[in-house]
Structure 1
Amino acid sequence: MSTDARPGLRERKKARTRLTIRAEAFRLFHEQGYADTTIEQIAEAADVSPSTFFRYFPTKEQLVLADDLDPPMIEAIEAQPPDVPLITAFRKAAESVFAGLSEADMEFERTRQELMYSVPELRGAIMKEMVRSIDMIAGVTARRVGRTADDFEVRALAGAIVGVVLGVVDLLPGNLPLALRALEFLEDGLPLGRDTTS
């Protein structure tokens, strides 16, 4: 019995197919625009059927919005020692996940974020994604502190984490170092918020 953590052949093939669909979609979006690209064109470019496309992504919108970094982020947050403060744990997890990305993966994430924030049809869906992110962070936070995910303080902290990142990434989509700076600013207690000088 193998204890190899490497995914099996089937999982690797599925991951390759998913990546190919997304890469071809992003190429087509760049060449002809998001609105003018059909699912059929994406499927043809990725050499899959439209039904295969729908097995991986329920909509064209979800092809862009789906964040493949969520599972490793949750894992990295949960791997932080319990004595590390929550915001610090989140920032360190983000640093760890970003550091583990190849240059191609970083470029893919930058492109994904640029699409999310520049395509009007996708900008409207960002709010749903932010709520989903808050739910995800609230869940991992609740497990870490022994509270429920709907606890007021848990939700407020999760919202603050998402909010500081969104506040800066919206200006420069794909700028991951800026997102980390925003987390440091939150970690420091948002010092500007205590400033009373004019």
Structure 2
Amino acid sequence: MPDDETTPRLPLRERKKLKTRAAIRRAAYKLVAAQPWETTTTEQIAAEAEVSPSTVARYFPVKEDILLSDEGDDLLEARLLARPAGEDPLESLRVVVTDAVTAALAGETEEVLLRARLLVEIPSVRTRLTETTAETAQRLAGALAHRTGRDADDLEVRVLTAAVLGALREATVYWAEHGRDPDALAPLLSRTVDTLKGGLALRARP
């Protein structure tokens, strides 16, 4: 996502953390391109990334998180908070998520496609995706609550955020199972938000 007036500038410490996370992810992707994920160890990933195994564990307590985490929830939350004040929450989530996906596909296409393949092939990756999606929803619920003047534990805030993130997760799995065209993911996620905005009506095809 290009820098503009709506893209927050993170503190230096946070930017360094993101660079370390990115180095660990790149190392993992390089290894997994040549060997099975199940036999790829934290020690191997650490050696490839030129960091200690404890650093890998600190940034990614669960090994599958290396495949599933991109920018981190901090940046997604910051971008959501930076959206225009009067914007519809669903539209804000659409923009934040699709922009992040578009940027990832533009800069790390092969890594994103490899992750999608593993998402289809490895049950533990799909299971962890469900767990991390719920964690991200909790973070973004706080941002939406702030934007709307509601409490983060407000039922409507929690339901809306969980519904949107869960639907986007399912759309991502659908994309991974159906061809993994890099140009198709962002439109598919946008279509998912449109489905939610339409009230989840499901009519029979003619």
**TM-score category by the smaller chain?**
0.7 to 0.9
**Residue in 1 aligned with 2:4?**
none
Q: Return the letter of the residue paired with 1:186.
A: L
Match of 2:192 among 182, 192, 195: 182
C-alpha separation in 1, matches of 2:51 and 2:204: 59
Relative distance call for 1:42 and 1:131 in structure 2 (3 A) is same
1:160 and 2:163 correspond: yes
The alignment yields a C-alpha RMSD, in angstroms, of 2.9
> Partner of 2:66 in structure 1?
63
**Structure 2 counterpart of 1:53, from 56, 61, 65:** 56
Residue 175 of structure 2 is aligned to residue 172 of structure 1: yes
Higher RCO structure, 1 or 2 (CA under 8 Å, sep 6+): 2
Unaligned runs of 5+ in 2: 1-8
Deviation of 1:58 (Å): 2.3
Structure 1 residue aligned with 2:121, among 99, 118, 121?
A: 118
Distance in structure 2 (CA, Å) of the matches to 1:64 and 1:99: 17
Task: Indicate if the aligned counterparts of 1:76 and 1:97 stay in contact, CA closer than 8 A.
Answer: no
1:163-191 CA-partner distances (Å, limit 9, x unpaired): 32122211113623311221122223334
User: Using a 3 Å threshold, how does the CA distance of structure 1 residues 110 and 76 change in structure 2: closer, same or farther?
Assistant: farther
Aligned residue type for 1:154: V
- Whether contact under 8 Å (1:77, 1:90) holds in the other structure is yes
User: Deviation string for 1:69-125 (max 9, x for gaps)?
Assistant: 533332222222222211112112334444555722354344334434432222222
Using structure 2 for the length normalisation, give the TM-score: 0.76
Question: What TM-score do the two structures reach when normalised by structure 1?
Answer: 0.78
Which segments of 5 or more consecutive residues in structure 1 lack a partner in the other structure?
Answer: none
When structure 1 is superposed on structure 2, of 143-152 and 57-66 the one drifting more is 57-66
Instruction: Give the distance between the partners of 2:46 and 2:193, measured in 1 at CA.
Output: 38
Indicate if the aligned counterparts of 1:169 and 1:179 stay in contact, CA closer than 8 A. yes
1:81 to 61, 80, 84: 84
- Listed one character per residue, the Cα deviations across residues 3-47 of structure 1 (whole Å, up to 9, x for unaligned) are xx5865x76665444322211211212211110111122222223
Name the amino acid aligned to 1:187: K
Structure 1 distance, partners of 2:83, 2:53, is 41
Query: Which structure: larger Rg?
Result: 1
- How many residues align? The count is 191
d(CA) in 1 for partners of 2:19 and 2:150? 38
2:194 maps to a residue whose letter is: E
Percent same amino acid at aligned positions?
A: 34
